[in-house]
Amino acid sequence: MAAPLTTYGPLTFGRVNTSIAIDSLSLIKNAGACGALFISEYIQDTVHNDDAIEIYNPTSGMINLNHYYLMGTINGSSAATFMIQLNGKIAPYKTFVVANSNADTALIHKANQLSGSLNFKGIDLVGLAYIYLNGVYVLDKIGI
């Protein structure tokens, strides 16, 4: 496990007296290279609400998303502006799509989960985190 966080950057997530900067890449125990979920696609449409995040399961096992969250900033904010708890499961070597609830019907039909919090404008940071008990583990991040 990583050493305790002693400094805080512009984007730090916290929970129950434990926090971790999104710039840290602390992986879940036994999750090596391509051994943990990661963000495989970031979809942004500044004209419509066709914004989405796709997560890929590179493992040979089904993953329950009970303790996984998408967290991030929107439009260059220096503080976390959304936290979406993921629901469902990802089959081995498959994807899970979280889309804006106001997206085009075609994108909504491809989505596994909808959220009105996904509304990207180009200067956004999204992190995929695993939160369990008092631990927050950032698995992947995308954006600035």
Q: Which sequence spans correspond to the domains of the chain? A: 12-26+35-143
Assigned CATH for 12-26+35-143:
2.60.40.1260
- pTM of the model as a whole: 0.74
DSSP line for 91-141: -TT-EEEEEETTS-HHHHHH-SEEETT----SS-EEEEEEEETTEEEEEEE
In order along its 144 residues, the chain shows pLDDT tens digits of: 444 444 444 344 443 333 334 333 333 333 445 568 999 998 888 777 888 999 999 999 999 999 999 998 877 777 778 899 999 999 999 999 999 999 999 899 999 999 998 887 777 888 999 998 878 888 898 886
